[in-house]
Amino acid sequence: MSDALSTELGPTGGGGPPRGDAKERSGSLWADARRELSRNPVFIISSLLVLVVTSWAVFPFLWTDAGSDGGRCVLLNNNAGPSSEHIFGTTTQGCDMYAHVINGARPSIIIAVVVTLVTTVIGATVGIVAGFYGGWLDTTLSRITDIFLGLPFILGALVFLALLGSQNIWTVSIVLIALSWPPITRIMRGSVIQVKALDYVEAARALGASNLSVIFRHILPNSIAPVIVLATLYLGGFVSAEATLTFLGVGLQIPEISWGITIAQGQDLAVAGYPHLLIFPCAALILTVLAFILMGDALRDALDPRGR
């Protein structure tokens, strides 16, 4: 008892200043998270990888002087291994594999960003409405969410894309959005239900704040953290989903350059003595997805006060 008391009061027995460690953690959740992330090497490295891949998509000319078509293709030079002229070798059409890897990031990043943003907005909006207002509205929205959750992701995407008949960046994005918003809705709904029962929300209501004011000033800022984490993980998942659908033949189509197309074209020849046809596009895909996943994991740990 005395040890605990002396520890609380400080070495002099009085209310001395807080230790640096406690003072450092006295900020808001977001300030603490920013501090944790700035010291996390996993987050820093994964963020740098994400920036590199994003620059491939937005500024490919910084990495290769070949055009978006992979440069001039020489069919007689197809399937050539890595050399001083083509550091990643050439594709089955005789195009530069390095240029294909760089330019192949563009459709994947566009789809991942568009789908993540739209999915987050839709899912968060439905979750806020269901969790905040409750009652019959919550029941109706929850049942609709359950219906979409019951659709198998890959099978549903295959069927919808086959029915659409046209496969491009926007049709793939629409299908992925339609199948991906329910998990965000569920997480947002649960977070809103937890936050709206807190004292400061009740105090805001007692002072006469409108529902919109309560939602945007109190509910949303304090319940959005789990959604941000999930959205970061979604980025990597959508990059993988686009490549998978394209590999299966229902995603992007030639002449579009995509990692999924490059992998599909090289899968048979890779075992016949041309491993570079799979190694380099697969490595780019794996590193991109891994970077987003590691960044999401670091965000989850930083935004979870119980984990610190």
Give mean pLDDT in consecutive 10-residue pieces for the chain, a chain of 308 residues: 40 43 52 84 93 92 72 72 82 84 91 95 94 91 91 88 84 93 93 87 83 86 88 92 90 86 83 83 94 90 65
Q: Helical H runs in the chain?
A: 2-9, 20-24, 29-38, 41-58, 97-103, 105-133, 135-149, 153-164, 169-196, 199-206, 211-214, 220-223, 225-247, 259-270, 276-303
Whole domain around residue 231: which residue ranges? 105-255
Q: Are residues 58 and 150 in the same domain?
A: no
- DSSP SS3 for 96: strand
Q: Are residues 172 and 222 in the same domain?
A: yes
CATH of the domain at 189: 1.10.3720.10
Residue 86: left if φ>0, alpha if ψ -120 to 50, beta else—which one?
A: beta
Domain contains 9: no
Contact 110, 103 (CB under 8 A): no
Q: Are residues 69 and 205 in the same domain?
A: no
Amino acid 187: pLDDT: 93
| CB-neighbour burial class of residue 243 (10 A; exposed 0-12, middle 13-18, buried 19+) | buried
In this structure, what token pair is assigned to residue 51?
Answer: 């920036």
Distance (Å, whole) CA 222 – CA 207? 19
Q: Are residues 189 and 52 in the same domain?
A: no
Contact 245, 162 (CB under 8 A): no
Enumerate residues 6+ apart whose C-beta is below 8 A from 98: 64, 66, 86, 87, 88, 280
User: Number of folded domains in the chain?
Assistant: 2
CA dihedral 263, 269, 274, 280 (to 10 degrees): 0
Structure-token match 């806020």, residue found: 128
Amino acid 85: pLDDT: 82
Q: Are residues 273 and 263 in the same domain?
A: yes
Amino acid 13: pLDDT: 43
Domain contains 175: yes
Amino acid 49: pLDDT: 94
